[in-house]
Each structure stands twice: as C-alpha cells, then as structure tokens.
Amino acid sequence: MGFNWLSEPRGDYYTRHFVPTPEAEGDRLILNLGPQHPSTHGVLRVVVEMDGEYILKAEPVLGYIHRMQEKMGEVKTWRQYLPNMGRVDYLHALAWNWAYVGAVEKLAGIEVPPRAEYIRVITCELNRISSHLLWWGAYLLDLGAFTPILYAFADRERIMDILQMVTGSRLTYCYYRFGGVSADLGESFIQATREFLKHFKTRIPMFHDLVTGNMILRGRCEQIGVLPLEMARRYGATGPVLRGSGLAYDTRRAEPYSVYPGLEFRVPVGVNGDAMDRYDVRLAEMSQSIAIIEQALEIMPDGPHLNPDVHERLKPPPGEVYYAVEGGRGKIGVHLISDGGPKPYRVKLRSPSFCNLQLFAELAQGTLLADAVSILGSLDLVIPEIDR
C-alpha cells in the first residue's frame, strides 16, 4: 500500500493543515499531545512533528474550552459578571476578581476602605500560595514523581479551609465587590492564617529536601527550555516565566495598585531562564507571599469592609479603563469599555498564560519529547484562562 500509516496525518482541520518541516530527512511522525491530557494543564492540544525522539515542530491548538467569557461580559450587568471572573483562572480566582473589581472602581471612581484593601491583599496572597502549590505538585506529576502533589494538596486543603471561612467557597471565589469585599475577616480567620503560616514555613524546607535538590529533578530541569530575555519580551511573557529570565518585572512594583507600595517584599529573579530558574522563582514567591501576609495582618486597620455608597444597579460613566494585577501566572489585565449603561460595552481579559503559551512553539523546537513536557509544565499554563 502506498499509504504510510506512520506519517500521513488523518483527522481534523489542524492535523490536515499542519505544515511539516520541509527540509527534514528521515522518518517523521506527526502526533497529538492531548487534548485529553494526563497532566493537569487543562485541555491543551499540541500537534507535534517528531523525528525519533526529537521535536521538529510543535503547534498548540486552542479553543477546546472556549466559554465566551468576554461575550458574557456584554450581556450581563456589571455586578452579575462577578462570578465569571472566578472561573476564568480558577487557580488564582481572587486575582481575576481583583482585576475586574479594580477596573470598575477605577472607571466609576469608587473608593475602597483601607481595611478592605488589606483584606484583598491577604486573601489574594493566600490564593497565590495555593496556586503555586498546585503548580508545583502538577509539574512534578508530569515529571513522574507521584508523591509531592499530595503533599502540596494537603497544604492547599488548609488554605482552602481558611478561605472558606470568609468566602464560603473552596476554589472559585466570588468574594470581592465594588468598593470592598463581601464579608469581613473574623478573629478565627486571622488565627487560622497565622497558624497556617507557621506550619507552612516548616513545609517549604521539606519540599526543598524532597524535590529541589534532587539529582534526578535537576537533570530534568536544568538547562531545559532556556528562554532568552529578548524572546520573552517579544512574546510579552510575564510572571515567573519572565522573572526566571532575569527581568524583575512584577506588576505589584511596576504598576503599583492597592496598598502594595507600603508592603516590603522582594521580587525573586532567575539567572539563566531555564526551567529550574522558573521553579526556583515560584518557590521563592511563596516565601515572599508569606512575608506579605504577615505584614498585612500586622498593619491592617479597623474599619468598614465595604463602601456603602456604591449603587446597586451600578452604571459607571462612559469611558475606557485598563487595570492590571499580578496573578500567579503573570500580569492579569482587564480592559473595560463602558457606554454608561447597566452592562459593559466590552470586557477584554488579558490572560498571562496566553502569551506564555506562544513561547512554547519556539522553545520546544529541537528538544526531546520529555524535555518538551518539562518546558510545558514550567510555563505554568491554565488553559481555561487561555481560551476564556
């Protein structure tokens, strides 16, 4: 038969229109990684052309979880859109909450009481720790270590229990409101947070012992997926992906919002831009989040947790606004256009994983398949955020 089963693509549009590398010799294999992925990135599909174990070309295919979040922004009222933000990136839901609520507050000129700002900082940083913990566990699961994800989840359970006390939810929080937060922190929350931070400080050394120094892990992460700074800039990468390549760009410092200017914390930065650097940056960020939460708990003032003057059927004046916060994956941006009505005219969500994923096609060229998986894990992608 003249039909070469191994390298003729059959299948859907993307498979049939995949352009193989023209100058490659030898037997080439065209495979799909996903969209049903064993690892927890989400529904990502990558069409890969391989020569033996080496990847010649990788093409991500998106859209498997497009949920029309931006369209929903146009048909729901300003307040009704709040639960959507928790679902865009469910791992760092509070950061997306903050981006939207901050944008509307900026547009409508709503003041946020200081206590509410500190509450937002504390809860968002707790959520950042839990997001990074899940990334850590899932990354190691990709690399074949089955235990660290359960240790990470044990700590995540504690964070989820703490956040449940005040938000009522464990994952998709809808906690921030225009002009503050929906419920005040009680004494039990503060107590539980302090206990958790004390406990978590003993866990981070254990994570380092088990994994970070491990010879096998270093072999899988060092010198893998080296991202030069100019390439990161070209693709608009943000977050630990950019900081791993040496640039200390953190939205909390570069475009300060809320009470972050008054809080002391360092921005961890890598040197080489390989997967190990991104790993180290994220683990260091967890420690910095602990420091931020402790400071915020100390200096949080008393007062109202919600601005009572916000109208129920909010109608911000016509105009455009862009508001950015630092999420676990990078810079989260919300661009709102209002026409003065009860519903937004346009909601544009800038998701950090979208730009970080673009890097993958270029980074994965010429690497081994196992290395490509390691690179994908180190980029910390959440596909629902990419597809929105």
Interface positions with other proteins (CB under 8 A): 6, 29, 31, 33, 38-39, 53, 76, 79-84, 87, 140-147, 150-151, 154, 157, 161, 164-166, 168-169, 172, 174, 177, 182, 206, 209-211, 213-220, 312, 368-371, 373
Q: How far is the CB of 290 from other proteins (least distance, A)?
A: 21
Give the shortest CB-198-to-other proteins separation in angstroms: 18
- Residue 214 burial by CB count (10 A; 0-12/13-18/19+): exposed, middle or buried? middle
Strand pairing class (331-338; 29-33): unpaired
In whole angstroms, the minimum distance from the beta carbon of 36 to other proteins comes to 12
Q: How far apart are CA 285 and CA 215, in angstroms?
A: 23
Tell me whether residue 126 or residue 373 sits nearer to other proteins (CB atom).
373
CB of 150 to other proteins, least distance (A): 4
Distance of closest approach, residue 259 Cβ to other proteins, in angstroms: 24
* Residue among 145 and 291 whose Cβ is closer to other proteins: 145
Is the Cβ of residue 205 or residue 256 nearer to other proteins in the bound state? Answer: 205
The CB-of-331 to other proteins minimum distance in angstroms stands at 25
For 253, left (φ over 0), alpha (ψ -120 to 50), or beta? Answer: alpha
Q: State whether residue 317 is helix, strand or coil.
A: coil
The nearer residue to other proteins, 79 or 335, going by C-beta atoms, is 79
Decide whether 48 or 355 has the Cβ nearer to other proteins. Answer: 48
Distances from the Cα of 233 to the Cαs of 78, 246, 292, in angstroms?
A: 33, 11, 28
3-state secondary structure 115-173: HHHHHHHHHHHHHHHHHHHHHHHHHHHHCCCCCHHHHHHHHHHHHHHHHHHHHCCCCCC
355/375 with CB nearer other proteins: 375
Q: Sheet containing 319-326: which strands, arranged edge to edge?
A: 319-326, 331-338, 346-350
- Comparing CB distances to other proteins, the nearer of 232 and 334 is 334
Q: Which DSSP state fits 1? A: -
CA 12, CA 270: separation in Å to the nearest integer? 40
**Between the CA atoms of 156, 160, 163 and 166, what dihedral angle is there, to the nearest 10 degrees?**
-160
Min dist CB 157 to other proteins, Å, is 8
